[in-house]
């Protein structure tokens, strides 16, 4: 296992599974400009790893058991000018983009409060699992602002416009079970089992064809905003391209031979 330490985050890699832990438990893992910059740099670095050490799934979590990310760092935001606030928002949007564009699935292990920027970070992940004490919300209107890291857009796409508007307009928080009911998270588990659950799912994904996983993620994301016929064409093109890969040949040969496939990402 390898470990890389930044100022505000920890990055570990065990085989094909990487884990990023936001490491500011005394600040409830709040997203400061430094945290956002380091998270973005870490995701870009993991995307750049190729060959046998390539990452096939990423788990994102927070240090401690109180908060995943309790929000953006209000102390850091309080004195921002309008141009500085715009730059801060743009940096958060870039982080979300890097997570969404990563070829590997990103799994949020929500170990407590996921509020404001924390909820938006969950929304930028492909899958999310929550500890039973986790709480979610977009309470920015209580501060006289709106979600700035994609919440007004991704929350609507994740849980539907009516419920998203209610959460954004009221600033109300919801518990883990309600988050599962509305589709914000995939499942809820006891807090002691959270990281094991997220890692188990990551390991299952890591055994699949990485080119196929990357293509499926890309097509599902891009196709969501296309007209259905165009989205189907996008899928057909990606399906066809995969038949030129070694992974496709290995996967189908293994199936016919009734043996586990060994994918190389080629």
Catalytic residues, by residue number, are: 120, 140
Token duo for residue 94: 């870039």
Secondary structure (DSSP) of 108-129: EEE-SEEETHHHHHHHTSSEEE
Q: Are 223 and 235 in contact (CB under 8 A)?
A: yes
Start-to-end Cα distance in the chain: 24
Q: Is 158 exposed, middle or buried (0-12, 13-18, 19+ CB in 10 A)?
A: middle
Contacts 24+ apart (CB under 8 A), 242-249: 242/211, 242/212, 242/215, 245/209, 245/211, 247/209, 247/210, 247/211, 247/212, 248/209, 248/212
Adjacent-strand bridge partners of 69:
114
Evaluate the CA torsion angle 55, 45, 58, 160 in order and state its sign. Answer: negative
Distance CA 174, CA 115 (A): 10
């Amino acid at each position: 296992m390898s470990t890389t330490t930044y100022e505000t985050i920890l990055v570990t890699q065990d085989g094909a599974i990487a884990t990023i832990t936001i490491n500011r438990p005394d600040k409830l893992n709040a997203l400061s400009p430094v945290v956002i910059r380091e998270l973005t740099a870490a995701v870009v670095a993991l995307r750049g790893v190729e060959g046998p050490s390539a990452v096939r799934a990423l788990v994102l979590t927070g240090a401690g058991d109180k908060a995943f990310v309790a929000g953006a760092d209000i102390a850091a935001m309080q004195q921002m000018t309008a141009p500085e606030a715009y730059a801060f928002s743009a940096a958060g949007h870039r982080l979300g983009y890097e997570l969404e564009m990563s070829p590997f699935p990103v799994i949020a292990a929500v170990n407590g409060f996921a509020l404001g920027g924390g909820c938006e970070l969950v929304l930028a992940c492909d899958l999310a699992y929550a500890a039973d004490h986790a709480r979610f919300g977009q309470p920015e209107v209580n501060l006289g602002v709106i979600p700035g890291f994609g919440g007004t857009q991704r929350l609507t796409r994740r849980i539907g416009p009516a419920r998203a508007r209610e959460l954004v307009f009221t600033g109300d928080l919801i518990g883990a079970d309600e988050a599962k009911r509305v589709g914000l998270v995939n499942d809820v588990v006891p807090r002691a089992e959270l990281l094991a659950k997220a890692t188990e799912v990551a390991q299952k994904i890591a055994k699949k064809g990485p080119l196929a996983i990357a293509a499926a993620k890309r097509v599902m994301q891009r196709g969501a905003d296309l007209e259905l016929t165009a989205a189907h064409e996008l899928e057909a093109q990606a399906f066809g391209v995969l038949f030129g890969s070694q992974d496709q040949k290995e996967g189908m040969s293994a199936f016919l031979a009734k043996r586990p496939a060994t994918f190389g990402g080629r």
